[in-house]
Structure 1
Amino acid sequence: MDLLNAISGFVWGPVMLTLLVGTGLFLTVGLRLMPIRRLGYGFRMLWKGRHAEAEAGDISPFQALMTALSATVGTGNIAGVATAIALGGPGAVFWMWITALVGMATKYGEAVLAVRFREVDSRGRYQGGPMYYIKNGMGEKWRWMAWLFALFGTVAAFGIGNTIQANSVANALHSNFSVPVGVSGAALAVLTALVLIGGIKSIGAVAGKLVPFMAIAYVAGALVILGLNAGEIPSALALIVDSAFTGSAATGGFAGAAVMAAIRFGVARGVFSNEAGLGTAPIAHAAAKTDNPVRQGVIGMLGTFIDTIVICSMTALVIITSGAWTLLDPATGAAYTGSALTSAAFEGGLPGTGAYVVSLGIALFAYTTLVGWSFYGERCAEYLFGVKVIPFYRVLWVLAIPLGALGNLEALWLVADIMNGLMALPNLIALIVLSPLVFRITREYFARED
């Protein structure tokens, strides 16, 4: 455990976080702020892409984004935001926003390259992602790096995308509804198996319906609380901005935090939440029915905006306006953190129902993450071993779910954490090397559009 902690601390240390944010900043400048300037255009393309188009691909552009969001919107939006505030103060939220704004360019570049360099496998299905744009975009001499990405992705999926999510669902349902963890694990396995039978088309269809519902339901609950606390919102926003540059003073149960803590935890939790730069989302976008990489790119970048700027901000504002971040947990006598902090904030805003909103949110978010990551892991395994591995991979995926629900996952968390971080390195190198291509086809596309 000490060794794993040390490796995880190095992998997710300042160098990695700087590289992730730095790559996003580099792409943002190279694209001349296009992701921010063309945000409205991205939503128009998303609306047009709700239904399957008569272009090459397996699922509609809308379903591709929902599949990517299903794997991205998860416990990080509930527990991750709360942890950032508990450790870094309200100022951490500001740095989460900055991470998301530059992360939009990263997601855009990933989706563009995924469509540009995708392939068709022996089943006639479209596949792509970092392993393909490394191999096809950077050349055969870089094939080893593509292989490493696929290996890290195959292993990481069983941790961050499977057992850990199953454990989160089982614990949430047990603590609030007294559902035995074994029952939750078995039910999750059955529900996931039914979706996986249909492959990416089934995953896309389920994600296309469930992700918008869960996101709207969670945001709606947050908006009700914020409506009741409307008078506190301006001061909360001012506190977020002020604390980002001056630090947060100790108040109530909050121990205080320096500016560096706000930056560190804001950036780290922002990256964990929206996954910009990790290389997972382009695997889903490569399956989109589109003949234009840029059009899917502007849809892909919306994932970071929706995940962090919308959903994470709702969680953060509820926590700050409620004052829960300064309170002590009566059960432990310590300051609230993680999902307990979010539950306390929602319960304070909606007595009797707020905690259930958070619990159901965790359950739904974690389930869709489990389904979305199954596709990522499967595609990585297919790259390594060919299409023959897919049935075996799906069986292993389903069998791992109840084990995750019942298990003690501390060590697995760390292994998954390490693999997740190692996935980012090949992807970020490819994004930087292939950035001139991304810049060129973006300029050409918008010159025609304008």
Structure 2
Amino acid sequence: MENLIQIASKINSIVWGAPLLILLVGTGAYLTLRLGCIQITKLPLAFKYMFAKEDEDSTGEGDVTSFQALCTALAATIGTGNIVGVATAVKAGGPGAIFWMWVAAFFGMATKYAESLLAVKYRVTDGNGQMSGGPMYYIERGLGSKLMAKMFAIFGIGVAFFGIGTFAQINAISDSLKDSYNVPVIVTGIIITLLVTMVTLGGINNIAKVSEKVVPFMAILYLLASLTIIGLNIKLVPEAIKLVFTSAFNPTAAIGGFLGATVKGAIQNGIARGVFSNESGLGSAPIAAAAAKTKSCVRQGLISMTGTFIDTIVICTMTGLTLVLTGAWKSELSGAAMTNFAFINGIRIPYVGKFIITVGLMFFAFTTILGWNYYGERCAEYLFGIKGVKPYRYIFILIVGIGGLSILKLDLIWIIADIVNGLMAIPNLIALVGLSGVVISETKKYFDRAKEIEEINENHVELRKSC
């Protein structure tokens, strides 16, 4: 097993080397400049659209509402990355990794906007009458490369089967329940497999309905718990934030059980874990965005953009601050155990912290499994047609069952997840750069039209006043 981990680590260091990090952040930075910092200037409008019920939502083609599409994407992104991933990043890269998560998320918001816009623009209707969209379609129909489109779809199925979609989530749930309440791993695995089977066989509508109810609940519960810890340690917050910034640009010395970290380690772990958490640039969220009932690709792009903000800027920051404020990052613990330690010691009420982390992790990880089941399904449908959907679902359920046995070590699980994530991101990022002109054009047309409508309405108001 140790040899396998070493081999996987070497492959991971190649995949997540400087070229991919530059491509990932560089694409986001390029889109940010070309779109005039849309993640800042249009963020209030994006949140307005997220909650607004507009006419186009009811008349546009699609399978689910824009909000359900966002919740499905959030269900897939708000998972172990927010609890285990942040702890893993801080353990390896120190508190400075949190800063690089913010950097990845800031530029990632522009990336998420662009890829979701393209997903809606180039989506198609499959043989079952459902919407299919995502990088495989805009790579083929927009960029004109069937080879890269197929590569993305293959890597997407790989992530669903062996990356974010199964092993990382199931392992986190099983370990958390075993550590907190001594629930046997095999029992947890059987229950998860049965629940996944019940929901996923119903397709996107079932997944969207579950996500719409569960995602807001679990996010609010987790945020309230995190804010409680921050509130109880409010005097330490300025020092914690200072440590995050200083550690981002200076090596972090060994403290307690923490072995010390280089700046390179902080950057690599922060960006990799940030991408694992919010999935900006991976091309996953646009697959859900393509199913939204909307006529405007720009509007859906803006709504999807809020997902990265909620996931990383809000939720991952809450986790990171609790780890720093409680000193958990200096302990010998790692993963869910480290975050569990932070919440138990931070809330200081017997059993409450442990309960919140365990329940939160269960909800987070379970909905991530559901979301990635759908992403992989759309990739399978692209490669094999609608006849490939059912076999894919059965294989996915089988892998969930195998994952429930917790055969693989946590370190190996995260390394495998990183490798397939990186491979999935490469063709998507190339397509985003190649289709950036389309993104700019669609954005300009949308806001020019919106400005014209606003001016017409203002003129009507003036005419009424003069009359």
Larger radius of gyration: 2
> Could you tell me which residue of structure 1 aligns to residue 460 of structure 2?
none
> Aligned equivalents of 1:93 and 1:113: distance in 2?
30
Q: Does 1:418 align with 2:405?
A: no
Question: 1:420 deviation in Å?
Answer: 2.2
Give the letter aligned to residue 155 of structure 2. Answer: F
Q: Does 1:341 align with 2:338?
A: yes
Q: How does 1:90-129 map to 2 (within 5 A)?
A: 90-129=95-134
Q: How does 1:371-450 map to 2 (within 5 A)?
A: 371-410=370-409, 414-450=415-451
Change (3 A) 1:47 1:173: same
| CA offset digits 1:35-76 (Å, max 9, x no partner) | 221111100000115995221100000011110111111111
> Could you tell me which residue of structure 2 aligns to residue 248 of structure 1?
252
Question: 1:412 deviation in Å?
Answer: 5.9
Partner SS, residue 406 of structure 1 = coil
Question: 1:255 deviation in Å?
Answer: 3.6
Say which of 144, 149, 153 aligns to 2:152: 149
Partner SS, residue 254 of structure 1 = coil
Question: 1:227 deviation in Å?
Answer: 1.2
Contact kept in structure 1, 2:80 and 2:168, CA below 8 Å: no
> Could you tell me which residue of structure 2 aligns to residue 11 of structure 1?
15
Higher mean C-alpha deviation, range 34-43 or range 159-168: 159-168
Give the letter aligned to residue 162 of structure 2. Answer: G
Give the letter aligned to residue 387 of structure 2. Answer: K
Contact kept in structure 2, 1:96 and 1:266, CA below 8 Å: yes
Q: Does 1:24 align with 2:28?
A: yes
Change (3 A) 1:226 1:409: same
Contact kept in structure 1, 2:276 and 2:421, CA below 8 Å: no
Q: Does 1:43 align with 2:40?
A: no
Give the letter aligned to residue 421 of structure 1. Answer: G
Higher mean C-alpha deviation, range 154-163 or range 65-74: 154-163
Change (3 A) 1:369 1:157: same
Question: 1:415 deviation in Å?
Answer: 4.3
Change (3 A) 1:227 1:343: same
Partner SS, residue 59 of structure 2 = coil
Contact kept in structure 1, 2:168 and 2:417, CA below 8 Å: no
Question: 1:251 deviation in Å?
Answer: 3.4
* CA RMSD in angstroms, aligned pairs only: 1.8
> Could you tell me which residue of structure 2 aligns to residue 287 of structure 1?
291
Higher mean C-alpha deviation, range 30-39 or range 126-135: 30-39
Give the letter aligned to residue 396 of structure 1. Answer: I
Partner SS, residue 53 of structure 1 = helix
Contact kept in structure 2, 1:88 and 1:261, CA below 8 Å: yes
Contact kept in structure 1, 2:94 and 2:252, CA below 8 Å: yes
Change (3 A) 1:239 1:50: farther
| CA offset digits 1:250-279 (Å, max 9, x no partner) | 434434333333222222211121111111
Change (3 A) 1:49 1:148: farther
Give the letter aligned to residue 390 of structure 2. Answer: P
Contact kept in structure 2, 1:166 and 1:185, CA below 8 Å: yes
Higher mean C-alpha deviation, range 128-137 or range 241-250: 241-250
> Aligned equivalents of 2:278 and 2:261: distance in 1?
24
> Aligned equivalents of 2:443 and 2:338: distance in 1?
42
> Aligned equivalents of 1:246 and 1:145: distance in 2?
39
Question: 1:115 deviation in Å?
Answer: 0.2
> Aligned equivalents of 2:405 and 2:62: distance in 1?
38
| CA offset digits 1:65-111 (Å, max 9, x no partner) | 11011111111111111122222222221111111000000000110
> Aligned equivalents of 1:218 and 1:322: distance in 2?
16
> Aligned equivalents of 2:296 and 2:344: distance in 1?
46
Partner SS, residue 112 of structure 1 = helix
Q: How does 1:358-369 map to 2 (within 5 A)?
A: 358-369=357-368
Change (3 A) 1:89 1:7: closer
Say which of 126, 132, 138 aligns to 2:137: 132
Give the TM-score normalised by the residue count of structure 2. 0.91
Say which of 170, 175, 185 aligns to 2:174: 170
Q: How does 1:267-306 map to 2 (within 5 A)?
A: 267-306=271-310
Partner SS, residue 404 of structure 2 = helix
Mind listing any 5+ residue stretches in structure 1 that lack a counterpart? Answer: 329-334
Give the letter aligned to residue 308 of structure 1. Answer: T
> Aligned equivalents of 1:244 and 1:164: distance in 2?
27
Give the letter aligned to residue 346 of structure 2. Answer: G
Partner SS, residue 110 of structure 2 = helix
> Aligned equivalents of 2:376 and 2:25: distance in 1?
25
Partner SS, residue 301 of structure 1 = helix
Give the TM-score normalised by the residue count of structure 1. 0.94
Change (3 A) 1:231 1:369: same
Q: Does 1:75 align with 2:50?
A: no
Partner SS, residue 58 of structure 2 = coil
Question: Identity over aligned residues, as a percent?
Answer: 50
Question: 1:303 deviation in Å?
Answer: 0.9
Deviant stretches of 4+, over 6 Å: none
Give the letter aligned to residue 99 of structure 1. Answer: A
Contact kept in structure 2, 1:155 and 1:416, CA below 8 Å: no
> Aligned equivalents of 2:162 and 2:327: distance in 1?
34
Q: Does 1:219 align with 2:213?
A: no
Give the letter aligned to residue 322 of structure 1. Answer: T
Partner SS, residue 367 of structure 2 = helix
> Aligned equivalents of 1:247 and 1:63: distance in 2?
42
Mind listing any 5+ residue stretches in structure 2 that lack a counterpart? Answer: 452-467
| CA offset digits 1:14-33 (Å, max 9, x no partner) | 22122111111111111110
Change (3 A) 1:418 1:262: closer
> Aligned equivalents of 2:327 and 2:157: distance in 1?
41
Contact kept in structure 1, 2:272 and 2:418, CA below 8 Å: no
> Aligned equivalents of 2:221 and 2:87: distance in 1?
19
Q: Does 1:310 align with 2:314?
A: yes
Higher mean C-alpha deviation, range 414-423 or range 358-367: 414-423
Partner SS, residue 119 of structure 2 = helix
